[in-house]
């Protein structure tokens, strides 16, 4: 009886490569949802595929501090940091919501 040879580099979940290669993305879209209780920033490419995202909750802010302009600024910088490494030069900005974080988002993007 012949035993099947195991694949070299095979993982438990069936993936062959250890890491995804970094894509070069020249242009993207930054979506910011600023509400009174939280702020979410999502960076996508032109097709709409998510590259990175961040929210005030994931940055460590709790309670009413999530809706502050400082939390929004920190969230935006955190989401954009991964995109800058992929050489994004241009971005279209779409902002939604009634919060004070709208202005802070634009300041952080500049």
Predicted structure pTM score: 0.74
Summarised one tens digit per residue, pLDDT across range 80-106 is 988 888 888 899 999 999 888 888 888
Spans of the chain, pLDDT less than 70 = 1, 3, 5-22
The rounded mean pLDDT for the chain is 83
Domains of the chain by residue range: 27-109
| The CA-based dihedral angle spanning residues 68, 73, 74, 79, taken in that order and rounded to the nearest 10 degrees | 130
* 3.30.300.280, 3.30.70.2340, 3.30.420.80, 3.30.1360.20: CATH of 27-109: 3.30.420.80
């Amino acid at each position: 009886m012949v035993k099947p040879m195991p694949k070299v580099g095979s993982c438990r979940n069936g993936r062959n490569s250890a890491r995804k290669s970094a894509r070069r993305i020249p242009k993207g879209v930054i979506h910011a949802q600023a509400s009174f209780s939280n702020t979410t920033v999502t960076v996508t490419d032109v097709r709409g595929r998510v590259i990175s995202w961040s929210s005030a909750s994931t940055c460590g802010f709790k309670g009413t501090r999530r809706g502050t302009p400082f939390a929004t600024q920190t969230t935006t910088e955190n989401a954009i940091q991964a995109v800058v490494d992929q050489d994004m030069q241009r971005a279209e900005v779409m902002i939604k919501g009634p919060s004070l974080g709208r202005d802070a988002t634009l300041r952080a993007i500049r």
